[in-house]
Structure 1
Amino acid sequence: MTSEGAAVIEGEAAPGWEPVLDAFADAQARDPGSAQLAVYQRGHLVVDTWTAAEGAGTRPFGPDSVGVLMSVTKGLAAVCVQMLSQNGELDVADPVSRYWPEFARNGKAGTTVADLLTHSAGLPAFTGDPADAAGVDLLDWDACAARLADARPMWRPGSAFHYHPLTYGHLVGEVVRRVTGSTVGSYFAAEVAAPLGLDLWIGLPPHEDHRFVHQHHPGSPPTPAELTAALHSVGLTPHDGLARSILASMAELASVTSAFRSRQGRAAEIPAAGGIGNARSLARLYAALIGHVDGVRLLSPLTVERARAPRTDHLPAPAPLRRPAHTHPARFGLGFELPRRGLPMLGEGSFGHAGAGGPLGMAHPESGLAVGYTCTEMTWDGSQGPDPRWIPWTRAIHRAAGLTTGLW
């Protein structure tokens, strides 16, 4: 089903949900890439649709194709921590060093697991200087964890927050490993993906690589002059320690994004950005966080409430960084993003995580909605409001579910 000027899409929708297919087609009309969209309501798949761009990549694209989810992966890692907390195996209020003793070094003895989940640990990069970023082997888990254990935070943990693009995954993942004895990817596979039959991995198995579809990241890296101007706009200079750490994090993210083009990179466990899967599995995962899906529910209502309670609204940016007045800073619960102007999700009460380029997973407990979206044309960078591709189908989902509160 398509409308005039819309993309040709495939898939199906339950009765009453057909307008979401039209909205998805309209949203993808100006996108040269392929995409998937899946929606669950109260444990039932009500929308399962995709569009395949002509000549996009060397492999056919369909509902079972999988791609890199970028920071959507952070939500997967958060699920693991929430399950361990729910089972009494860890307490997010505990110091990280209770589970990972080496982490107490260099001023981090009081850092809590909650600080890791809310990007307030003061460790936005594996190194404090962009010149050293090339020397970080991001595929060597033990080496990365050792760097973080030895690192000195850029601000007092818990006193401010700033996004941890890659370190979030190793910080949270190492806690999971210390508690369970399993890597975060192995724990996710056994305790989350297997019970639900998900095509979703933190570390893609070799036998699934034939389903992988490469994504396109348009644009070019900012020039040194552009970086300097951007730093000045938020109160930093290239010589500030915090600025060097932020620049290092950008270099690290660019390096790992490039690594995902290799088999070795896709197999590595990068739980801040390297999750691989499809929209159908993302939606199914989030549906099982807020209700039963084929008899499986992962989180209790109480755990969901704790996970989506705002944790960073009162926290400032770390000095001397200042957030421009016109921006809408990220908001976090315990590992999940919360709605804001640039990421409205399904309205207040939603939780989930977006990824650089446009992939998105989210849930809205009150309506029983869970949504997964993936794309191959990775154009969204979060700086200019919501991804325009999200808006038509998000509104259509809102209407189909009978929600009356505004999104924008």
Structure 2
Amino acid sequence: MHVDGTVAPGFEPLREAFVEVLGDARAGAAFAVVRDGRPLVDLWGGLADPVTAAPWRRDTLCVLFSGTKGVVATVAAALADRLDPHQPVQAYWPEFTAEVTVGQVLSHTAGLPCVDGDHDLLDVADCARRLAAQRPLWTPGSRVAYHPLTYGYLVGELLRRVTGSSVGTLVRDLVAAPHGLDLHLGTPAECDPRMARLVRAPDYAISTFLRDPERRRLVERMYAGLLDSDELMNSAAYRRAELAGGSGTGTARAMAGLYDLLLRGHIVPPAALATATTTWSEGVDAINDRPLHFGLGYELADPIGTYGPHSRADGAFGHSGAGGSRHGAWARGRIGFSFVTNELRAENADGRAEHLLRVLDALV
């Protein structure tokens, strides 16, 4: 696989590591590192479209899946003076029936991990209405369990209630446009020619920590078939939908730049970022049996090294995405990083991001 892009002097080992990552690839990827506004690594390679053999280019966009949650968490933190995590959801959304706080929604402890009944996962407004009437599966705040799609329906509606704007508009106006970031939620048609085609590795599976068949059925309800369908995940309808839990698109350069901006005090006031990146929930996922550690929408360092070696755990935050993407910040070293890929691999068979972060750790 051919690799393009640049690395700053002293970061040449990351080019070598990226070549290794692409060594057995069926598709493509990009990796970027930014510190204090300076790009240290900006690499891309492989195939943006394995069907047509189109190469990954500098401006190739890729679906971020749950990497979107980190972008949306940034919007929520930027609006912390209008969306108080200690307040009940009902304070902003009167039709909401459960006794859940905003902080519990953002930290995946609300107990609403799936939408009940038959529904269209792309109909954001309908899914929000349904959730407003649902009973939580457990007492809110008592358990942590990842809310893959419902996080987006809930947070997106809360943001709409306090601003009057859709979450995609807020991503554009508060995050992307002011800082020239190639990030989108509700991706416009003019971006379609730049989109990478998503493909799944032959052994791709979700929730690889989970062995219980009953909870496996619940997981299938949670994801609503999204990751089972190449047609759906590659559709324009999916990209157009403002799924705050997972339909954002962007480049590695933009995502690394976003986290660098946060470290430098842009977009989110430092006090609000400190609140959003402290522990709000932690433990083994009550559904998926995976270790979790959340701030207010951001993933934090966990026991399985999602955000790199232990030496970087203090102050690390970001969000990963289905299939292997990883985006975040290391406060120690003031590093923003992002790995995006259009080849989805199972978590228990994918060491690509971990390898790149280990090499980066040795260099900074």
Partner of 1:37: 31
How far the C-alpha of 1:252 sits from its partner, in A, is 4.2
1:270 maps to 2:243: yes
Count of residues paired in the alignment: 359
1:15 maps to 2:9: yes
Q: Which runs of 5+ in 2 are unaligned?
A: none
Cα separation, 2, equivalents of 1:64 and 1:92: 36
Q: Deviations over 1:313-335 (max 9, x none)?
A: 2x5655xx694xxxx51211111
How far the C-alpha of 1:78 sits from its partner, in A, is 0.7
How far the C-alpha of 1:251 sits from its partner, in A, is 3.0
User: Superposition pairs for residues 5-404 of structure 1, below 5 Å?
Assistant: 7-53=1-47, 56-58=50-52, 59-85=54-80, 88-103=81-96, 105=97, 108=98, 110-127=99-116, 132=117, 135-219=118-202, 233-234=211-212, 238=214, 245-254=218-227, 258-291=231-264, 297-313=266-282, 318=286, 323=289, 329-346=291-308, 347-348=312-313, 349-379=315-345, 381-382=346-347, 384=348, 387-401=350-364
Partner of 1:404: none
Q: Deviations over 1:165-188 (max 9, x none)?
A: 110101111000001100101111
Cα separation, 2, equivalents of 1:144 and 1:157: 19
Q: Does the Cα contact within 8 Å between 1:35 and 1:52 map onto a contact in 2?
A: yes
Name the amino acid aligned to 1:394. L
Specify the SS of the correspondent of 1:52: strand
Name the amino acid aligned to 2:244. P
How far the C-alpha of 1:255 sits from its partner, in A, is 6.4
How far the C-alpha of 1:213 sits from its partner, in A, is 1.4
Q: Deviations over 1:74-115 (max 9, x none)?
A: 111111110000xx1121111011111111x2xx1x301111
TM-score, normalised relative to structure 2: 0.91
How far the C-alpha of 1:266 sits from its partner, in A, is 1.3
Cα separation, 2, equivalents of 1:140 and 1:311: 29
Q: Does the Cα contact within 8 Å between 2:48 and 2:196 map onto a contact in 1?
A: no
Q: Does the Cα contact within 8 Å between 1:166 and 1:253 map onto a contact in 2?
A: no
Aligned CA RMSD, in angstroms, stands at 2.5
Specify the SS of the correspondent of 1:158: coil
Cα separation, 1, equivalents of 2:40 and 2:90: 44
Find the structure with the greater CA-based Rg.
1
TM-score, normalised relative to structure 1: 0.82
How far the C-alpha of 1:22 sits from its partner, in A, is 1.3
Q: Does the Cα contact within 8 Å between 1:115 and 1:157 map onto a contact in 2?
A: yes
Q: Does the Cα contact within 8 Å between 2:78 and 2:269 map onto a contact in 1?
A: no
Q: Structure 1 vs Structure 2: percent identity of aligned residues?
A: 35
How far the C-alpha of 1:244 sits from its partner, in A, is 5.3
Cα separation, 2, equivalents of 1:243 and 1:9: 39
Cα separation, 2, equivalents of 1:210 and 1:310: 40
Q: Deviations over 1:19-60 (max 9, x none)?
A: 211111122212222110010012211110111239724344
Pair 252,120 (structure 1): closer, same or farther in 2 beyond 3 Å: farther
Cα separation, 2, equivalents of 1:351 and 1:322: 21
Q: Does the Cα contact within 8 Å between 1:185 and 1:269 map onto a contact in 2?
A: yes
Specify the SS of the correspondent of 1:289: helix
Cα separation, 1, equivalents of 2:328 and 2:240: 25
Name the amino acid aligned to 1:71. S
Pair 365,316 (structure 1): closer, same or farther in 2 beyond 3 Å: closer
Cα separation, 2, equivalents of 1:263 and 1:76: 20
Specify the SS of the correspondent of 1:51: strand
Q: Does the Cα contact within 8 Å between 1:57 and 1:213 map onto a contact in 2?
A: no
Pair 99,256 (structure 1): closer, same or farther in 2 beyond 3 Å: farther
Cα separation, 1, equivalents of 2:284 and 2:359: 35
Name the amino acid aligned to 1:375. T
Cα separation, 2, equivalents of 1:100 and 1:70: 26
Cα separation, 2, equivalents of 1:28 and 1:52: 7
Q: Does the Cα contact within 8 Å between 1:27 and 1:391 map onto a contact in 2?
A: no
